[in-house]
Every structure is written in structure tokens, then in C-alpha cells.
Amino acid sequence: MVRAELGSNKRYLVFSPEPVGEISALIARIERCLPKEGTALLGFDFPIGLPRSYAEKVGLSAWRQALRLFGSSDWNHFYELSDRPSLRQPFFPLSKQKSGKLKTQLAETLGYRNLDELLRRCDKKTQSRPKAECLFFTLGVKQVGAGTIVGWRDVLAPAMDMIRFWPFDGDLNNLLCEPGIAVAEIYPGEAYTHLDISIGAGTGLSKRRREDRRKACEHLLETVTSDCIKFSEAAKSWIQWGFEHEDDFDAMVGLLSMFQVVTGEPGSGLPADDPAVRTIEGWILGQQSSHLFESLPKGEP
């Protein structure tokens, strides 16, 4: 993770990447570090919200309601991977399954024609990135299912009473004006566009190579400057060197993208015409709804 703290000089100091530590205690640790009446905005790189099509099928209408149910009572197997997925145990496949039409199998078993029907609106293809993976799928380099399980079960659920979820619990500006912890979903692939970072498929640069990371982000120390942000010397050295690992790179990029959103450019990006986004699906912070290539199904707002 990468963090920034507001100093007495009214400037945020950006620190170098550091280990998250014990994940189940992360939010409680951050809460203890907050000054009285202080606010923290946490960005997590995993989905926060459910596809509306899935939520309707299982009778869930609100994100908090769903997160409280998962892992208990009739939903006690929800977080367990299965080779025979079901609506209340949807994460698939087990790691031992490496071949076959696995995506088709998952979609059809859950009652869909394909996994595109299990994407949230914010997961769809945009002008700057391909579509995301279905959050229930757990195989391959693009999968987000494993991170979703850990993030929901071990990080968010134990801390539900300590945090406010954007956009479910209110507009971003309102959440940031209240003391305590606000949580939002971020996505490095989206953050790259906010910071003019070109890396990955079609660019000739790989996020897995340190020298490529260095080339892709060397402009940040010059372009990400304002009267309210300053890089620590350690943070500067990590950027200039190209980071130790791609996760360090993504954490820094995610934080800097969050700064841009909080200061109004590009803004939160939340669509104003879609109630399901605010109740059950959620949204990626800073993603502009006007940049989506795929529209909502007919009959939906």
C-alpha cells in the first residue's frame, strides 16, 4: 500500500510503498492513527459491489445487506471456491481446474448465457481499457475473484461498522467532510489514464519489468505537482528506480489517481442516471460513465 498524510503545512506528504500487514486489522489500525475528527479515504483494488443481474436473481437489493449475509447462515459457503458453483457459492473454478470451457460453465450454471451478463456497469469496456473480468471467476492473470474473497471476507466485513462505502453511503464530497473512514474501489487500469501512463498490451512496455515501470512513470514527479502534495525523498527514489514490484507501482498510481479525483479532476465519474450503481453495483473511483463503450441493457435507466 501507499499512503499520504496531511501535515501542519496543509500539504499532503506521499510516502513510499509499505506492507499492508495483518489484513483483518488494517482498517482498525488506520482508525487508531486518525487525529480527532480526522478523515481517511481508502482505495482498494478489488470490486466493491455486485452485478445487478446477480443481485436481482438472489434477492439482494443493497450492498451492506449483502456483505453482512455473505459467509453466514444460508450463505455460509459463499466465499468457498467450488468445482460445482451455485448462486450462493459462485466463486469458480478450483485451482486444479486448468482446462475446459470454464467461463461458459460458470455462466450457464448460474443461469446466464455468458459472463458478460455478470459484469457490473463499471466493469465494461471503456475508451481506454478492455472489459474487466467477472468478479466470481478465479483463474488466469485477469481474475479478480481471489482478491474479492479476501477483500470482502477479511478486510471489509469485519470493519463494516467503522467504515462508510462510496457510493453506497453518500456522495464523495459528503463522505470526506465527515470524520472517520471512507472506502472506495479503485482500478489501476483506470488510474493509468488519469496520469497519462502508457503500459501493458500494445505499448511495448510490461508492468512486470522494472525498467519498463520506470519509463512509464518517470514523468510523475514533474506532472503530479500542486500546492497540496509533496513526495517524500523515499517515495521519489521508488518512482525514479521503477519500484520493486508491480504491486508497489499500482499502489502508488492508485493513490495519485485518488488525489486527482478528490481535487476535482477528473471527478468521481459516478453516473447520475443509474440508481443501481448507488445501491448494489458500486463504481470505480474516477471512471467516467461517458467513456463506457457498452450501454446498459434495454429497459434499464
Chain segment 189-229, per-residue pLDDT in tens = 899 999 999 998 889 999 999 999 999 999 999 888 777 88
Write out the H or E segment, with its range, that includes residue 31. helix 26-33
pLDDT tens profile 133-164 = 999 999 988 899 999 999 999 999 999 999 99
274 neighbors 301 (Cβ within 8 angstroms) = yes
Classify burial at 125, counting beta carbons within 10 Å of its beta carbon; exposed 0-12, middle 13-18, buried 19 or more.
middle
Per-residue pLDDT, averaged over 48-74, amounts to 97
Give the confidence band of 299 by pLDDT, cuts at 50, 70, 90. very low
61 neighbors 191 (Cβ within 8 angstroms) = no
| pLDDT value for 227 | 76
Spell out the domain ranges in the chain: 4-46+162-262, 52-157
| pLDDT value for 294 | 53
269 neighbors 285 (Cβ within 8 angstroms) = yes
40: amino acid identity, one letter: A
Closest CA to 172 of 248, 278, 87: 278
Task: Give dist(CA 291, CA 287) in Å, integer.
Answer: 8
The total number of residues shown for the chain amounts to 301
| pLDDT value for 45 | 96
CA distances, 129 to each of 189, 220, 291 (Å): 7, 21, 10
pLDDT tens profile 232-258 = 999 999 999 999 999 999 999 999 999
Per-residue pLDDT, averaged over 124-130, amounts to 87
What is the residue-averaged pLDDT of the chain?
A: 92
